[in-house]
Structure 1
């Protein structure tokens, strides 16, 4: 992509492209593709309920997540499909609310929402944090 094309894109388009690169990298088992759009201090957290119904915040180590992405499992395709984007921008900060459906080998597994916090840098938009929810019920398919 040439510089003139890059500048013609809106921040919203660039943010979508940044987020999409994460999921393209996941599908290709290419952790370097994912790492390219993450800020060095990026965090990954999940909000969910335990079996007893207690709401918990779980932090996942980014390096372990990247290792999982980069580990090809023969015959296994992990495919997180975003169903929409709600992007808010304030200067160099952005937030994207992205409901998703997660499939393993085209079989529905779970759904939820990813919330991305991004920062505009001299190298483009970088993801500084991801918080998600995961559930198997109340999924619109």
Structure 2
């Protein structure tokens, strides 16, 4: 009990746990292929398949292609960082999110950089820096977090959460 209390007190007193503290108090997760050789290969590919299909559907404006990769009880959340230090959080059910996906004249592309994949049985999460371009020009960037569940042998996306900013969106890798 004393140890739990001490750890709790330390966590509350540490600035990284404060609501307005640093956004990344520890180094980012390593890409799956660097630190987890046991997960490299078919299992990571299987987890990434619905994510890659969602991104392809987003690029082509195909909401039905995205819907085929998701579980209906989930949704999408964006943590939007606007200029002037304004931060807003917006949660959408999948229907609301998919209503924004439409074919258009502009070429949309979301690129994930060095995704970190964690798998435990029938749950997985993918964390990756992304760049979103419109007609080849950076529109926004941030980090994506995908929450997946395996049902009947197939991975489906339950939730996607992403940060979105327009500053610091370089096309080259870090």
TM-score of the aligned structures, taking structure 2 as reference length: 0.69
Task: Report which of the two structures shows the higher radius of gyration computed on alpha carbons.
Answer: 2
Instruction: Compute the RMSD of aligned alpha carbons.
Output: 1.8
Q: Which has the higher strand share?
A: 1
Runs of 4+ in structure 1 over 4 Å off: none
Residue deviations 1:39-96 (CA, integer Å, cap 9, x gap)? 1112100123455635432112321321221x222x2121111112100011111010
Whether 1:101 aligns to 2:131 is yes
Is 1:83 the counterpart of 2:113? The answer is yes
Residue 46 to residue 107, structure 1, CA distance change in 2 (3 Å): same
Whole-Å Cα distance in 1 between the matches of residues 75 and 93 of structure 2? 7
Task: Please list, as runs of the form range in 1=range in 2, the aligned pairs for 1:13-28 lying within 5 A after superposition.
Answer: 13-28=45-60
The alpha carbon displacement at 1:30 in A equals 1.2
Pair 104,140 (structure 1): closer, same or farther in 2 beyond 3 Å: closer
SS at match of 2:85: coil
Answer yes or no: is the 8 Å Cα contact 2:115–2:128 preserved in 1: yes
Using a 3 Å threshold, how does the CA distance of structure 1 residues 13 and 59 change in structure 2: closer, same or farther? same
Query: Does structure 1 conserve the Cα–Cα contact (< 8 Å) formed by 2:138 and 2:169?
Result: no
C-alpha separation in 2, matches of 1:10 and 1:99? 22
Q: How many residues align?
A: 131
Residues 1:125 and 2:148 are matched in the alignment: no
What runs of 5+ residues in structure 2 fail to find an aligned partner? 1-40
Residue 33 of structure 1 aligns to a residue whose secondary structure is helix
RCO greater where, 1 or 2, for CA within 8 Å and sep 6 or more? 1
- Measure the CA separation in 2 of the matches of 1:91 and 1:123: 11
